[in-house]
Amino acid sequence: MQLTLKVWRQKNGNAQGRFEHHNIEAEEHMSFLEMLDVLNEKLISEKKEPVAFEHDCREGICGACSMVINGRPHGPQTGTTTCQLHMRAYKSGDTITIEPFRANSFPVIKDLVVDRSSFDRIIQAGGYISVNTGQAPDGNTIPVEKDQASDAFDSATCIGCGACVAACPNGSAMLFTSAKVNHLEQLPQGKVEHNRRVKDMVKQMDKEGFGKCSNVGACSVECPKEISVENIAALNRHYLSSVFVKK
Amino acid sequence: MSLTGLFLISFLIVHLLGNLQLLIPDGGKAFNIYAHFMSTNIVIKFISIGLYVGILLHAIQGIIIVLDNRKAKGSKYAVNTYENGNWLSKNMALLGTFILFFLCVHMGDFWYKVKFTDTLDLITYPDIDYQVKDIYQRVSMAFGNVWIVVIYIVGLIALALHLIHGFQSAFTTLGLQHPKYTPAINVIGILFSVGISLLYALIPLYMYFAKLSNY
Ligand code: HEM
Ligand code: SF4
Ligand code: FES
């Protein structure tokens, strides 16, 4: 299949970026990232700088493959990361516009690669439990109801990719932060430090300069793990109670 | 934002109930007596100051949030799609500014003229022993003008749109969400937003057409 790519090129964080046009020949069974590999091989053979993009697992679990494809983070398919998107979703002759995630707290490093270490610092502020909970058998000594375990697991599936921030017109990180808070809050091991965690993670999120949530809902639509906005309402509830009710 | 918004919604209900008295076919007696009570009662005076503060706080907060968020987003995408959020939720500030503009017109036309000028006739009714301003007459005159009616209708459409997003958004902001109740809250929000705007719109429309048919 013949494709025209409009790819964002930017030397570094301070440089002015621009779109570059490339025509390439790809196969329907390629993943989106393999299609970009074809582009880069072509660029390298022409002695040009390849397009920088992030990837690691290429199986939808690491959250590295951040890019906005035709206006949608991780492309057009719901519940799908860029690496799991396949070229059969496109037809020969299509033009595809590829941009980096855009948010002030995700500055561009180069081309399609953005710095998402602001997420790491939100996790460092409280997205953990302070004691060693042992191995799997130790975990199983505390019974957790199936429904509750499932809810916690739904929140835990967040891979920290940042698509929610990329999709949000406010550049808000509420979906990510709320998923991380709720995952731990719903389990007995995480409940203990809950109040401190909510306050610290929200504080760090604001400090990183993410925007304020106005309940637009674009985050959940674009999330490759389909994290629900119910997490955001729950975070608001926990935050209010940790500030006004609990000591 | 959510608290001031819900406070303003509660005002909308009370204000509507009072104003619907304009539709009682008694030449404006019930409305004039009610309006006299509202403009002289000391408790109402304090509540109305709270209301002005509420509107200002809500608008200022809204503008600060929008400016902050614009900064947090930074640059824009070359391609934008519907999935980036619906038009309503992204245009709350635009709709809000429109409502604010409408409020200025509305208050300039009634509140200012009633409070700070003496262009209104005084009127007495046989069964009460004090004089009241004939505000009904002023309202009826305003709503005889088709352009004022049009401004009200457009303002109320903006209000309905602002509230369709705002109502359910306020509940999420306060953490009041539950798989059992949230679908109901969303439906009630839409019905309330459209319903209250329609009822408000009924007043200028009814008075305009009632006047037409009188001539
Ligand atoms: C007078 C009647 C008004 C009512 C009843 C009202 C009600 C509401 C409600 C309930 C919300 C949702 C709050 C939340 O998301 O937490 C909201 C949001 C908003 N309102 Fe109003 N509002 C009114 C007028 C205005 C005015 C005059 C402005 C001025 C610009 C305004 C600007 C906004 C903005 C920008 C938001 C979105 C806030 C955000 O993004 O979080 N509103 N409004
Ligand atoms: S909430 Fe979804 S979109 Fe946001 S970081 Fe987690 S997986 Fe990615
Ligand atoms: S490369 Fe790991 S999720 Fe796409």
Tokens standing for B180?
């059992």
Range B149-158 average pLDDT:
94
- Is residue A167 located within the same domain as residue A215? yes
Has residue B86 got a pLDDT over 80?
Answer: no
pLDDT at B24 over 90: no
Q: In this complex, do A212 and B68 lie within 8 Å of one another by their Cβ atoms?
A: yes
Task: Tell whether A133 and A211 lie within a shared domain.
Answer: yes
Query: Per the structure, how many domains does chain B have?
Result: 1
Q: Which of A87, A109, A131 is the last residue of a domain?
A: A109
User: Is residue A81 located within the same domain as residue A145?
Assistant: no
Instruction: Dump pLDDT digits (tens) for A175-224.
Output: 999 999 999 999 999 999 999 999 999 999 999 999 999 999 999 999 99
* A168: chain B residues, CB-CB within 8 Å: 73, 85
Q: What are phi and psi of B111, to 5 degrees?
A: -55, -50
**pLDDT at position B37, please?**
87
Q: What is the pLDDT of residue A247?
A: 63
pLDDT at A68 over 80: yes
CATH number at residue B143: 1.20.1300.10
Q: Are B187 and A245 in contact (CB under 8 A)?
A: no
CA atoms within 13 A on the CB side of B70: 9
User: Are A7 and A30 within one domain?
Assistant: yes
Question: Do A89 and A154 reside in the same domain of the chain?
Answer: no
Q: Kindly list the residues from chain A whose CB atom is less than 8 angstroms away from the CB atom of residue B81.
A: 70-72
The range of the structural domain enclosing residue B117 comes to: 2-213
Backbone angles phi, psi at A9, to 5 degrees: -120, 130
Q: Which residues pair with B132 in a beta bridge?
A: B123
Q: Find the closest chain A residue to B84 by CA distance.
A: A218
Q: Are residues A161 and A214 in the same domain?
A: yes
Question: How many domains is chain A built from?
Answer: 2
**CATH code, A155:** 1.10.1060.10
Q: Is the CB of A162 under 6 A from ligand 3?
A: no
pLDDT higher than threshold 90 for residue A65: yes
- Domain that includes residue A79, residue range: 2-109
Mean pLDDT of the B59-74 span: 91
B159, B195 Cβ separation under 8 angstroms: no
Q: What one-character-per-residue DSSP string does A109-162 give?
A: EETTEE--HHHHHHHHTTSS-SS---SHHHHTTS---HHHHHHHHHHHT-----
